[in-house]
Structure 1
Amino acid sequence: MRITVVLFFIAISTVLAGSVTIKSLVFPTETSTSYVKMNPMKPMTLNAFTLCMRLATELTGEREVILFAYRTVYYDELNVWRELDGRLSFALAGGSVIFQVPPFSGLQSHLCITWDSSSGASAIFMDGKKSLTKTYKQGHTIQGDGQVIIGQDPDSYLGDFDAKQSFVGEMFDINMWDSVLSDRTINDLFIGKRVPRGNIFDWETMNEFAVKGQAQVVDRELYL
């Protein structure tokens, strides 16, 4: 595993003709060493959230794929998975809720996940379209003081990675809020309209994260 490279950047480097240049994370190959660590803007002690990202992967349904991992010392507090059979799931400190959605491909998809502790209401949005609502972990609180990892599933606080669970492909525009956004706002986000920026992760203004292994950071133009 190579020495951590800490990247400092201004995510909005150009705003011309209705577009913005942002950073994109590329994971070129299956490994147990490549990942990106992201630092939230506030503690992730959460009773609700909306998590969104854009991604593309050519991995088939032959294995499970980690899409987002947030772990404290003792627990996987929030993990998002593409399951072995292609379904999507997320897990909050044990158990999971699973959704049947269209498969990912080498073409970019926009994914959002919402959850509200007060009711347990959970949903997946794919390219602006909402799944059925399921109930999961009503009354639960996601604990703070953890690490957010993109590209690997840590089975310990920051380690014990399995290459066969790693993400391979491209991921960017990762945003997170400590509330459930409305269906309309999520659709606006999908089509590129301006919406209130994430108060946990705001991809456009993120100025620090750490990259390890063969993960790469490239510039790309996001149309608004």
Structure 2
Amino acid sequence: MFLWRLPVKAYVLSVCSCLVLAYGDDDIEVKYRETFYNEITEEDTPTPCNAPDLTKWDKIFSMLENSQMRENMLLQYADDIIKVEIGSLRAEMLRLYGGSCGVAVETAGRRMVLQLESRLRESLDRLKLRDQTSARYSVGNSNHLEAMLQQLFSAVQTQSSQLAKLEASCEMALLFPMRSRRIFTTIIPDVPLSLSSFTVCMWVKPTVISNKTVLLSYGNRRNPFEIQLLLGRTSALLTIGGEAHLVEARNVVKSGGTLEWVHLCGSWSSEQGLATLWAGGRKVSTTPGVAEGHVLPDGGSLQLGQERNGCCPLTQRFDPKLAFAGKMTGVNMWSRVLSAEEISQLATREGQGCAQRGNIVAWGVTEMVPHGGAQFIN
């Protein structure tokens, strides 16, 4: 068997040696493509970029940005840890104490409900006893309460009717809404004012009173102060023929104005020079020797709520500091001196004072022209 395999091996060995010799004699040529595709050209070495030096502000902003990023990371990390820890702690607490706490809360709630029910029953029992006791006296007390309510209702009706109506049964009033040089009322009398005596009366309700507030004024270019009926703080004043002839009555109105109507009258007689002021139907001041022998000139201007200054044009002749603000009604003027009884009747609030009209100025009859914001109201 061995002898048979030996020739086979020798044959294979000879064949391999022939093949090796054949390849060793021939050269194998490898053809390449154009070589310029693989050539690497040498270029100049580029100059490295020179970054500009960071300024102080760039460094500060970089530091702030880095610190902000670190802070955000720490906050997020702490938040995650806290959430996880709290969740685990809550689960642990519920697991450990859930059963016992629930029982304790339920027991406490039941006790509170029982206590509230018992207290409510006690309160209801007390209320029932009080109702039974008060029912005995309810009949008598109800009649008494009804009578008291009726009295209060009638008093309220009386007060409201008094507030709604004007004084002395007057049907209208003059409203001066504010102090202004443009707000006043001109009176155009039917007869001349060449007078040697007079009485002027009116109801006034001032909103505010300054050192000098003009109620009524009469004058001409020569003398703008022939007649002036004024208010000054708490006083009433009357001047005839100029400010030198002055009659004053103190404590006639409240300081800073009044919320009530006040009846004022001023009278004067040239024969004796006697000037008198009346407030609320009472004589409050009398001064003799006031413009004795003087006669009021005709052709002047009679007006309410302002003082005329004859030296200046119409737009500049008035002073807003002297203007009247409030309400007026029952303005009347006579060419004689009224008696004390007549003035007392005019000052009666529930009387018919507005029905007694003057012969020089008659309220509701004589023409009165409001200017600016002055107006008649009911």
Shorter-chain TM-score: which interval? Answer: 0.7 to 0.9
Which structure 2 residues correspond to residues 90-169 of structure 1 after superposition, within 5 A? 90-94=238-242, 95-101=244-250, 102-103=252-253, 105-135=258-288, 136-156=290-310, 159=314, 160-169=317-326
Q: How does 1:1-224 map to 2 (within 5 A)?
A: 22-60=171-209, 62-76=210-224, 77-83=226-232, 85-94=233-242, 95-101=244-250, 102-103=252-253, 105-135=258-288, 136-156=290-310, 159=314, 160-191=317-348, 192-193=351-352, 197-206=357-366, 208-219=367-378
**Match for 1:27: what amino acid?**
F
Tell me the CA shift for residue 21 of structure 1. 5.5
Q: Normalising to structure 1: TM-score of the pair?
A: 0.81
1:74 Cα offset (Å)? 1.6
Work out the CA distance in 2 between the residues paired with 1:31 and 1:216. Answer: 14
Matched letter for residue 212 of structure 1: H
Task: Please give the alpha-carbon distance, in whole angstroms, between the structure 2 residues aligned to 1:213 and 1:169.
Answer: 14
Q: Which has the higher helix share?
A: 2
Q: Structure 2 regions of 5+ residues with no counterpart?
A: 1-167
Q: More strand per residue: 1 or 2?
A: 1
Letter in 2 for 1:25: L
Partner-residue secondary structure (3-state), 2:215: strand
The count of residues paired between Structure 1 and Structure 2 equals 198
Q: Distance in 2 between matches of 1:20 and 1:142?
A: 32
Deviations 1:173-218 (A, max 9, x none): 1000000010011101111246753100110323x32111111211
Structure 2: distance between partners of 1:168 and 1:108? 13
More contact order relative to length (CA 8 Å, sep ≥ 6): 1
CA contact (8 A) 1:87 1:98 kept: no
Deviation at 1:71, TM superposition (A): 1.5
- Tell me the SS of whatever aligns to 1:167: coil
Identical counterparts, % of pairs = 26
- Is the Cα–Cα contact under 8 Å of residues 89 and 96 in structure 1 kept in the other structure? no
CA 1:20–1:89 in structure 2 vs 1: closer, same or farther (change >3 Å)? closer
